[in-house]
Amino acid sequence: MISTRSALGSTPALTYPELAEPRGFSFLRHGSLTLTAVLVDAGFFLKRATRIYGHQTPEATARQLHRIALDHLNDERGRRVARLYRIFVYDAAPADWRGHTPIGKQFIDYGRSDLAEWRRAFHQHLRSLRKVALRLGYIPTSLIRWQLNPRALKALVNGRREWAGIGDDDFQLDLRQKGVDMRIGLDIAGFAYKGQVNQLVLISGDSDFVPAAKLARREGIDFVLDPMWSTIRPDLHEHIDGLKSVCPRPGG
């Protein structure tokens, strides 16, 4: 059951306690012209968050995502200068896939694996957070394949390992999400045409967003990219209005 209390980083609205507003919103009620929607590519976020914060519980990771999204409403001094429209999180539900390991032929029910249970718990915690909308794509089970992980492949190519020494631990499932990028693009286009917000923050490192970003900018939306300190292609700068990472720098 979703709590009616305000989420972390928010205070109750003046009229309806279940409608949360950003902390420090009182001075913005009549002054701020910036209404921001934050879009989060969860697959990208989870990889970067693990590197930056280490392995965390699903609840801690969901709250970390929420805090990072809210930090984009602040200026360099930590003052709240924008209003939050909503936080949109894009991911895919864990695949209900059953199969066998490539070498040892051990049975695996991925839908009941620790990774799948963690992801489902992560999604559930996101649903309970204020101003968060979860957009789920899917993973087609017919396209799931085992593939050699990059480290083992590199060792084979360099001659440091032989095929006879390759085991199940050297493989990983190729879980390709479908419908996630499409939902991000459609939502950006919807914001552009409907005029619901005047600023979009996208937490992602994927260049597939460029066509949608160009559309949003043509419609007058301020488009900010947060790659969480990952490196982006130099030519991507011309398709965004700002580059801002609010999380700690890895190794910093």
For β-strands 20-22 and 35-41, DSSP reports them as: unpaired
The answer to whether 130 touches 7, Cβ cutoff 8 Å, is yes
What does R_g of the chain's alpha carbons equal in angstroms? 21
Average pLDDT in the 108-121 region? 96
pLDDT value at position 75? 93
Q: For residue 20, is it within any domain?
A: no
pLDDT value at position 234? 82
92 and 194 both lie in a single domain: yes
| Domain end (from 174, 192, 224) | 174
pLDDT band, very low/low/confident/very high, at 252 (cuts 50, 70, 90): low
Query: How many domains does the chain contain in total?
Result: 2
Average pLDDT in the 92-118 region? 95
Average pLDDT in the 123-142 region? 96
Task: Name the residue range of residue 163's domain.
Answer: 140-174
Q: For residue 249, is it within any domain?
A: no
131 and 165 both lie in a single domain: no
Average pLDDT in the 136-141 region? 94
170 and 188 both lie in a single domain: no
199 pLDDT higher than 90: yes
7 pLDDT higher than 70: no
Average pLDDT in the 88-99 region? 96
Amino acid at site 67:
R
pLDDT value at position 233? 86
For 198-236, b/e burial (b = at least 16 CB within 10 A) is bbbbbbbbeeebeebbbbbbeeebbbbbbbbbeeeeeeb
58 and 103 both lie in a single domain: yes
Average pLDDT in the 223-246 region? 92
Q: Using alpha carbons, select from 9, 15, 183 the residue that is nearest to residue 84.
A: 9
Q: For residue 90, is it within any domain?
A: yes
Q: For residue 193, is it within any domain?
A: yes
166 pLDDT higher than 70: yes
Q: Is 130 exposed, middle or buried (0-12, 13-18, 19+ CB in 10 A)?
A: buried
CATH of the domain at 88: 3.40.50.1010
198 and 238 both lie in a single domain: yes
202 and 126 both lie in a single domain: yes
60 and 166 both lie in a single domain: no
93 and 166 both lie in a single domain: no
69 and 111 both lie in a single domain: yes
62 and 148 both lie in a single domain: no
3 pLDDT higher than 60: no
106 and 191 both lie in a single domain: yes
- Mean pLDDT, rounded, of the chain: 88
Residues 165, 163: Cα–Cα separation, whole Å: 5
Residues 233, 3: Cα–Cα separation, whole Å: 41
Q: What token pair was written down for 230?
A: 């990952």
| Domain end (from 174, 193, 226) | 174
pLDDT value at position 125? 98
Q: For residue 25, is it within any domain?
A: no
Average pLDDT in the 202-213 region? 90
157 pLDDT higher than 50: yes
The number of beta carbons lying within 10 Å of the beta carbon of residue 94 is: 20
